[in-house]
Amino acid sequence: MARRRRTIDVFGLSFLDAITCGFGAIVLFFMIINAATGRRSGRMTADLQGEVDLLEVEVLRGHERLVELRNSLREADDQSVVARGLSRRVLEELERIRQELATYDETSLARREHAERLKADLRSLEEDVLRLQAASESEEVPGDRVRAHLGDGDRQYLTGLKLGGERIFILVDASASMLDETIVNVVRRRNLPESSRREADKWLRAVATVDWLTTQLPRQAKFQLYVFDTGVRPVLAESDGTWLDAGDRATLDRAVAGLRATAPAGGTSLYHAFGALTAMNPRPDNLLLLTDGLPTQGSGAPRRATVTSEERFKLFGRAIQRIPGELPVNVILFPIEGDPLAASAFWKLAMATEGSFLSPAEDWP
């Protein structure tokens, strides 16, 4: 019996196993690669998403800044409009000022021309005066005034004042009331330093009045200058009780300087002031009294802080009893408010003693 030939099966079990294992290996390899790729892709996606978020934040900030810039631009436009309006007004104001300056320059030029003409006229008048003085020089008679007084007032205000006599006694009120015409200002200024009190307008007027009086004294006369407040004293301390020579200009200058250095203070006692008249030897034959009102005390200090008008009038009555007989009293009154009886009382005193009573204007002398 013939042996059959053995047939070979190409697709046997072993081949299929090999194919299957190879396919499984390929699938496994693919899965491993795909897993690694997914992880890497996730990381890349996360990084890209972070960058996207940052870009979105920057975009939002950019929008906010854009809004702010637009608002700033709008405000700048508004300010530019306001500035243009202000600039227009400033230009208009400058133009108006230029026109005013042009007008002022024209006016100033006219005034300068007028002033030059006046100066020329003044020079012509001065030349005429010099010619007249030269023509009349030989006929002049020397005056009897020792001092001169320069001021702005009208000297004829005091035409009626009697400045004659051989012994002229000048008595000046230097109490605190001589600081001002109102009681309120007197109270305010009486506590100021001496330098400020010496510069009070009312006191300066009194000093200027005495300065003028000394220019009117006769050369051959004697004089004395006293000040009084609650007491009485000479302005030249070394001259107490003695007469000074009115013909000595240096003495007159020293007396006025001593008065100018006095600072008003304290109350007013005419009792002591008139008492100084009797201490002079020989007695004065003319009295010039410069004051602003009735006295506030007599021989001693008052018992109360305030003194009524009636009480002051009574003190005045007691004080005038100390005036020597037949002595003319010439009163120069610088009135103060709140003393209505003063003018009448001093006027009657001047009339009774055959003196004069004056109340000079504020611009004198």
Please give the full DSSP string across 107-173, using - where no structure is assigned: HHHHHHHHHHHHHHHHHHHHHHHHHHHHHHGGG------S-----SS-GGGGTT----SSEEEEEEE
Residue 264 · residue 179 · CB < 8 Å:
yes
Q: What are the beta bridge partners of residue 227?
A: 172, 233
Q: Tokens standing for 295?
A: 């006295």
Q: Is residue 105 located within the same domain as residue 195?
A: no
pLDDT in tens, the chain (365 residues): 555 565 555 556 677 777 888 888 888 888 888 777 767 766 777 777 888 888 888 888 888 888 888 888 888 888 888 888 888 888 888 888 888 777 777 777 777 777 788 777 777 777 776 766 665 544 444 445 555 555 554 444 444 677 788 999 999 999 999 999 999 999 999 999 999 999 999 999 999 999 999 998 999 999 999 999 999 999 999 999 999 999 999 999 999 999 999 999 999 999 999 999 999 999 999 999 999 999 999 988 877 778 888 999 999 999 999 999 889 999 999 999 888 899 999 999 999 999 999 988 877 76
For helices 309-320 and 342-352, the axis angle rounded to 10 degrees is 20
Q: What is the DSSP string of 234-259?
A: ESSGGGTT--EETT-HHHHHHHHHHH
Q: Whole-angstrom Cα distance, residue 272 to residue 230? A: 7
Instruction: Kindly state whether residue 5 falls inside one of the protein's structural domains.
Output: no
Q: Is residue 128 located within the same domain as residue 160?
A: no
Instruction: Kindly state whether residue 6 falls inside one of the protein's structural domains.
Output: no
Instruction: Kindly state whether residue 141 falls inside one of the protein's structural domains.
Output: no
Q: Tokens standing for 10?
A: 């190409």
Residue 345 · residue 302 · CB < 8 Å:
no
Q: Tokens standing for 294?
A: 């009735």
Instruction: Kindly state whether residue 123 falls inside one of the protein's structural domains.
Output: yes
Q: Is residue 114 located within the same domain as residue 164?
A: no
Q: Is residue 235 located within the same domain as residue 305?
A: yes
User: Residue for token digits 């002033």?
Assistant: 115
Q: Is residue 238 located within the same domain as residue 200?
A: yes
Q: Tokens standing for 242?
A: 């003695």
Q: Tokens standing for 201?
A: 């307008």
User: Residue for token digits 């690669």?
Assistant: 33
What is the structure's pLDDT at 155? 44
Q: Is residue 108 located within the same domain as residue 216?
A: no
Q: Is residue 162 located within the same domain as residue 73?
A: no
Q: Is residue 108 located within the same domain as residue 177?
A: no
Residue 190 · residue 244 · CB < 8 Å:
no
Q: Tokens standing for 112?
A: 């300068």
What is the structure's pLDDT at 157? 44
Q: Whole-angstrom Cα distance, residue 185 to residue 177? A: 9
What is the end-to-end Cα distance of the chain in Å, rounded? 187
CATH number reported for the structural domain that contains residue 202 in this entry: 3.40.50.410
Instruction: Kindly state whether residue 150 falls inside one of the protein's structural domains.
Output: no
Q: Is residue 172 located within the same domain as residue 32?
A: no
Identify the DSSP state of 222: E
What is the structure's pLDDT at 16? 74
Instruction: Kindly state whether residue 53 falls inside one of the protein's structural domains.
Output: yes
Instruction: Kindly state whether residue 71 falls inside one of the protein's structural domains.
Output: yes
Judge if pTM exceeds 0.85. Answer: no
Determine the structural domain holding residue 31 and report its residue range. 15-133
Residue 273 · residue 291 · CB < 8 Å:
no
The 10 Å Cβ neighbour count of residue 237 is: 8
Q: Whole-angstrom Cα distance, residue 268 to residue 290? A: 12
Backbone angles phi, psi at 73, to 5 degrees: -65, -40
Last residue of a domain, one of 133, 163, 187: 133
Instruction: Kindly state whether residue 142 falls inside one of the protein's structural domains.
Output: no
Counted domains in the chain: 2
Q: Is residue 127 located within the same domain as residue 169?
A: no
Q: Is residue 101 located within the same domain as residue 200?
A: no
Q: Is residue 68 located within the same domain as residue 213?
A: no
